[in-house]
Amino acid sequence: KNFAITPEALARVERSSGTLIRDLPQLFIYEYWNLDQKKGRLRTLGYFLSSRTTSGEEVSFGYVDHAPLDSLFRASLLKLNANGDCKLDFGTVLLNKYYLYTILQFGNKQVKDVVDALRLRESVRQFVTGKTGAPEHTCKRITWMVEDSMTVRDEPTAAAARLLGSIQQYLNENREVYFNLGGDALSDFTVEKPLRLSAIEVEEEWHRNGEIIESRLKAVRFWVDGKPLRSTSLEDLARMELVVGFRQFLDLLNEKEFYFRILQLNDETIAPDRSSGLKKALQTWEWNRLSEFVP
């Protein structure tokens, strides 16, 4: 650590080597392990970043200390597929070792044999497990959409159509709400043309406690004539006092007794043909293995 590498220098290394620091195939983590069963602890010291050229030559991007990055890691969420927990940050992953790793050096001993590396990792597994926490799988970020199905007519799709129809009527009768949600950018307010509600998009967090699943509304977006309005918060929706067939709109969203399609689960976009299977998996399957239930 005799000198600091600048962003400009990093860019030059990328250009000369034909590699990108964002696409590193390997990361070397330096840690201090005190293996005392009572007072021992794990502490991350820093990271060495390197890559390889197409010819196999090592490219060094340098070493960085962990301490200045700790708050950034804790505030930065990972991009997660459907199997992940909804708010997993880099700090938690690094602290609890939620990744596959190989021990290359232990104390002053370099480990060059794969068998020795696996044996060493197994020998400290109990200690590491005792100093880290197991990942939780109790939360999902879910975006889903209510649409009017023109091909299937059963009670859930009929309920979805009634829901859309009631909100469509509300927006037509309360044009100021429509314009306040961004409708002025979609329509000419001087021409009163009937509005057609295409869909309702809902963002939620689902939290699982045993067999009970609680959904927490984050935002709702109305789609009018195939175009999205601005997202509406829970507080703004409560002020609208939307009622559908003598039922509060927010209660209906929470109960979900209508057809809806999952658009996104955590950061993973969900294809239409996987939606119904994932809805069932969320009710019956392990939340860290959803992709096994619905490939």
Structure confidence by residue, pLDDT tens digits, 89-130: 999 998 888 888 888 888 888 888 888 888 887 777 777 777
Cβ neighbours for 155, distance < 8 A, ≥ 6 positions apart: none
Q: Which residues pair with 142 in a beta bridge?
A: 204, 265
Task: Give the pLDDT of residue 98.
Answer: 87
Convert the pLDDT of each residue in 159-170 to its tens digit. Answer: 999 999 999 999
Q: Which of 3-7, 61-65, 163-167 has the lowest mean pLDDT?
A: 3-7
pLDDT band of residue 29 (cuts 50, 70, 90) is very high
Q: Give the domain ranges of the chain.
A: 7-131, 139-293
Report the alpha-carbon distance of residue 163 to residue 4 in Å, rounded. Answer: 60
User: What band does 1 get if pLDDT is binned at 50, 70 and 90?
Assistant: low
Read off the pLDDT of residues 173-206 as tens digits, 9 standing for 90 and up.
999 899 989 988 877 666 678 999 999 999 999 9
Q: Say what the pLDDT of residue 219 is.
A: 95
Looking at residue 70, what is its pLDDT? 95
Region 13-30: mean pLDDT is: 90
Instruction: Write out 108-153 in H/E/C secondary structure.
Output: CEECCCHHHHHHHHHHCHHHHHHHCCCCCCCEEEEEEEEECCCCCC
User: In 3D, which of 31, 33, 29, 32 has the Cα closest to residue 48?
Assistant: 29
